[in-house]
Amino acid sequence: MKFLIRQESASRPFPHLILGLSVRFCPLLILTLAIGTADSQPVHRTRPLVVRFSTPTATTVIENNKITNSYQTEEKYSNPASSIPESFKIVTRSAEITAAQRDRLEKLIQSVNFWNLPEFSGAPPNERYYPYSITVTQNGRSKTVLHRSNPSFPPAPSGFRRLEAHLNELLSSIHSWESKNQ
């Protein structure tokens, strides 16, 4: 019987010791022990997830467990009938979301059947509309769903509306934002 102990490469998320036991008539048995150091932080292994929700005046990006929201404020209009502001200020804020919030978002993406939603809905491209889009990147695939909002045309699909409502609720539920004004 021979024993082999070696330190794993630094590219691993946390140190490992590999203890290999090799016996002449038995296959190699490998036991992996996670060994933490005094300065190590807990590592949460999560699948990569990016959700981007864009409206005419705001963008929200959730990347893994971080949420960033940018929105227009202090809009000034030279023509009161215009929908295009002469000037505005952009506020960007970010926060961490909990594992439970992220899990709920991932489950909702699946339950609304996001991957099968139509890529476009609402007004045709040659009509006036307000663009609302949700992009999800998960498990090596990415999809954008664009709704062209115009009251003369059909509303967004139910799955899009449920996901949009959930993202807005998530934004409202966060109380400790780090803000950066631009």
Q: In whole angstroms, what is the distance from residue 47 CA to residue 181 CA?
A: 31
| pLDDT (tens digit per residue) in 88-141 | 889 999 999 999 999 999 999 999 999 999 999 999 999 999 999 999 999 999
Judge contact between 122 and 153, C-beta under 8 A: yes
Q: In whole angstroms, what is the distance from residue 52 CA to residue 29 CA?
A: 44
Give the residue extent of every domain in the chain: 2-34, 49-174
Does the pLDDT of residue 34 top 90, yes or no?
A: no
Res 133: pLDDT:
98
Cα-based distances in Å from 88 to 29, 66, 80, 178 = 64, 26, 15, 20
| pLDDT (tens digit per residue) in 144-163 | 999 999 999 999 999 999 99
Residue with tokens 């803000």: 179
Class of domain 49-174 as given by CATH: alpha beta
pTM of the model: 0.70
